[in-house]
Structure 1
């Protein structure tokens, strides 16, 4: 989504007045920035444009977008071998640890500590901790994605539901999904994503009060009651009629108005608003949470510095500050459904506060900020393989090919074999 010229100019004006932009970089410094994925191209073009408007002494060159976060981190690892790394990268929050463990990501603590304007930016420690490993900060979160439910309110109403009183628990959701599916004519009811870079499984485990590993990352923890409940829910969804879609097919079905309810990432909100406009009424609801100790993984991406060149590091730091500051966060929120990481921007009545008042559906995801925790990244060399293993087991459960208890035991064994010992 491209911003209107008026919004862009007001954002650029705000950026020019922001204290974080006072530090200087070498004139005509050029930095490369990588990101994922293609649908986000407009966002990063606007972000780069706003930054260069505020800092004409720094030029931003965007790499071609990677397919997704997993492909982006694999691309980055290859670029490290060939010495073709970009200077900055927007990496998935669960893919930053491999870059930190290999010494590719540059710790940002010294930049934060030595910057006199950092505290004024408005990014709380709870957000910076989402990409911290071994006591060091390896990225600053840029955009947080929260699990939400998207509803086609027209189908909800047609099936006898009340779009203004949506279900708050899984029993109600599944029952409503069945009613919508019963409408026939190629209509599907409820789809819960279970293959999304491991984020969906972690979300369900967290909603039942569990976690992926012990606090010291030495022992698997998802094999307890919360993990079993997550897989039992997936099994129930399969037997109750969840359509045999993959993630892309489910999202496309929702866009075209043939899927009634979709559990996915809040970052898709703006795109769904565009596709639903004039076709059906879109509603947003919160994920059911079954535990008072629930913690939900923060999806989305964090900004990693990769260059070891001192001059480009200075320019890269200015870009990072802009992106997580009020101006960059305004660009990000208005272009997506991501949750801002900047609380000062979130509470600004003249900035995002005003935007949320006009677009209340964007505020739903912010209600879960207090529950956010890091998108878990497994230690060792096999994070991507473990994610694929988790998704394969989830598929076996949803498709009825494996029962939850057996799947959980098998998953524990397979993941344990991929962890360092």
Structure 2
């Protein structure tokens, strides 16, 4: 016969098991996918324990990461057809529109309306507007970047350069001094970065949007200036055709004096660089301070097709947590991106930027924040490729006449735009 203490212990164990099973059964699981694992893995590793502490009833199942933003868009478009959408997806700020137009992204307005204190985290209006369509918010910006200059001050000092360049003419002059001092590889200008971001940067530099009235301003005088400026940088600096990853590695090794790319790599650079004086500087302009710069980065969109309101509510809790307050502060701590709200930037990170001046450069450029524009119609990704191919022709020396290249791009893009 079983003793009383043993029976009580057995009963307790059974009750505990039943309670654990019930808890597991009550837990809601959502699926989540994001791009750029090399940049963001460490961010989500920092966020996840804090989220679970606040929401022990929710489990976040991570899908395989997207390679980059174009891959993220294409993957979700395919998943919408196959009926295999994640509950939450991170998409490039310039890739949200197509998911809204196709009814894949869910409006967050009903969830926001139920939040009495939604504004307490102070989302920057300029950042929130990037995810607002026809008055409804469809995404919450998670990480926001601006282009900046990366400088190896030790190599610049050897070349006799004592001031950071403020224009692209200054950059070319610095390249000449660096090459004279034996550099042979003075610069990487990240022309290949996702979504024609740098092309749009040079358009906004002149105060000209790339997209206007559902057409691409490729036939504009400003677009010709962009192509001529790229050619000036490539030829004047004898720029090598590196990949973005090769450029980051070369700079980190101390072998590349200047690099112009997203601030997103700053956190990684501070971890992997060799022993040299690394600073960041404002993105140079064509004639001085740019009139605007495109906001890079990504936003959290709810793409859940679940009919279970608990799943959608859990997806909302995850979106809200990672884009506001303490969750968003990890973006700045672990990367070079800026959090999308004032609570993270001004309160939680009050002393952070003073202690990390390399990450402050992008924050100082916030007044220049402009839209990273989507290209109109179903051929938006194809238009991205056309502009990419045109820039590549400049970089490899295949295109030398910029007026001729401009006309070719205009004709190719016109064929891809929606017919009026």
The answer to whether the 8 Å contact 1:41/1:65 transfers is no
The answer to whether the 8 Å contact 1:208/1:229 transfers is no
Give the match for residue 313 of structure 1. Answer: 312
1:49 and 1:406 map into 2 onto residues whose CA distance is 55
1:353 and 1:411 map into 2 onto residues whose CA distance is 46
Give the match for residue 268 of structure 1. Answer: 265
Q: Equivalences for 1:272-351 in 2 at 5 Å?
A: 272-276=269-273, 278-289=274-285, 290=287, 294-309=291-306, 310-348=309-347, 351=348
Q: Please say if 1:355 is aligned against 2:357.
A: no
Q: Equivalences for 1:107-122 in 2 at 5 Å?
A: 107-122=107-122
The answer to whether the 8 Å contact 2:72/2:91 transfers is yes
The answer to whether the 8 Å contact 1:47/1:323 transfers is yes
Give the match for residue 146 of structure 1. Answer: 146
1:66 and 1:123 map into 2 onto residues whose CA distance is 26
Higher share in helix:
2
2:225 and 2:366 map into 1 onto residues whose CA distance is 23
1:256 and 1:204 map into 2 onto residues whose CA distance is 28
Q: When the two structures are superposed, what TM-score results if normalisation uses the length of structure 2?
A: 0.88
1:32 Cα offset (Å): 1.0
The answer to whether the 8 Å contact 2:27/2:58 transfers is yes
Deviations 1:19-78 (A, max 9, x none): xxxxxxx94111111001220222123222221122111111111211111111111111
Which among 154, 168, 171 is matched to residue 170 of structure 1?
A: 168
Give the match for residue 256 of structure 1. Answer: 253
Q: When the two structures are superposed, what TM-score results if normalisation uses the length of structure 1?
A: 0.88
Q: Please say if 1:179 is aligned against 2:177.
A: yes
1:292 Cα offset (Å): 7.2
Give the match for residue 404 of structure 2. Answer: 406
1:260 and 1:375 map into 2 onto residues whose CA distance is 28
Q: Which runs of 5+ in 2 are unaligned?
A: 1-24
1:136 Cα offset (Å): 2.7
Which among 235, 238, 242 is matched to residue 239 of structure 2?
A: 242
Give the match for residue 374 of structure 1. Answer: 371
Q: Which runs of 5+ in 1 are unaligned?
A: 1-25
1:261 Cα offset (Å): 0.4
Q: Equivalences for 1:52-63 in 2 at 5 Å?
A: 52-63=52-63
- With 395-404 and 262-271 compared, the bigger mean Cα shift is at 395-404
Give the match for residue 137 of structure 1. Answer: 137
1:191 Cα offset (Å): 1.7
Deviations 1:297-318 (A, max 9, x none): 1111000001133221111111
Q: How many residues align?
A: 388
Moved segments of 4+, more than 6 Å:
none
1:249 and 1:49 map into 2 onto residues whose CA distance is 33
C-alpha RMSD of matched pairs (Å): 1.8
3-state secondary structure, aligned to 1:363: helix
1:404 and 1:43 map into 2 onto residues whose CA distance is 42
Q: Please say if 1:41 is aligned against 2:41.
A: yes
